[in-house]
């Protein structure tokens, strides 16, 4: 069993898509073993996305990610990182396969509905950013 960090981004939360997106995870066999709704400060968003700090989109991304409530969650299952990336689709909704979350609900490469960890090592860091061990019940 593997864990991955998922974020339902402000665009999708504001459209009331939390349950719809969660059902995609559950239908694919991933379990939501921790979940919370919160709003990041700009500083927290900057820290979370620090790996992208040299990229041109960094400031805009951090502003967007702190613009409204998000749902942070831990998904658990066999090959959870890869499975979640498959369910999400590629970063740019315009290039994502039909039936993926980003294709169906994303508006743009920035407002792309969800974030998911890109590896098991990143997942550990990202899960620890949002959750302590008492909050994750497998």
Single out the residue of 119, 121, 137 nearest to residue 73, CA to CA: 137
Token pair 């613009």: residue: 67
Number of residues that bind ligand CMP (CB under 6 A): 8
Considering the complex, what minimum distance in angstroms separates the CB of residue 104 from ligand CMP?
A: 16
Does the footprint of ligand CMP cover residue 91 (CB under 6 A)?
yes
Does the footprint of ligand CMP cover residue 45 (CB under 6 A)?
no
Q: Which is nearer to ligand CMP, 113 or 138 (CB)?
A: 113
Considering the complex, what minimum distance in angstroms separates the CB of residue 2 from ligand CMP?
A: 18
Does the footprint of ligand CMP cover residue 82 (CB under 6 A)?
no
Considering the complex, what minimum distance in angstroms separates the CB of residue 102 from ligand CMP?
A: 9
Is residue 115 among the annotated active site residues? yes
Binding residues for ligand CMP, per CB under 6 A? Answer: 52, 57, 61, 91, 109-110, 112, 115
As annotated, the active-site residues are 115
């Amino acid at each position: 069993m593997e864990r991955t960090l998922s974020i339902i981004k402000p665009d999708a939360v504001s459209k009331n898509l939390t349950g719809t997106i969660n059902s995609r995870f559950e239908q694919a066999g991933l379990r939501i073993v921790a979940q919370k709704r919160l709003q990041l400060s700009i500083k927290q968003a900057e820290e979370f996305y620090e790996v992208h700090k040299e990229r041109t989109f960094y400031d805009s991304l951090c502003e967007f990610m702190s613009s409204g409530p998000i749902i942070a969650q831990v998904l658990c299952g066999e090959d959870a990182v890869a499975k979640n990336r498959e369910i999400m689709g590629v970063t740019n909704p315009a290039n994502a396969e039909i039936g993926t979350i980003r294709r169906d609900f994303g508006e743009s490469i920035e407002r792309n509905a969800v974030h998911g960890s890109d590896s098991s090592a990143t997942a550990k860091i990202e899960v620890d950013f949002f959750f302590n061990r008492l909050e994750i019940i497998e």
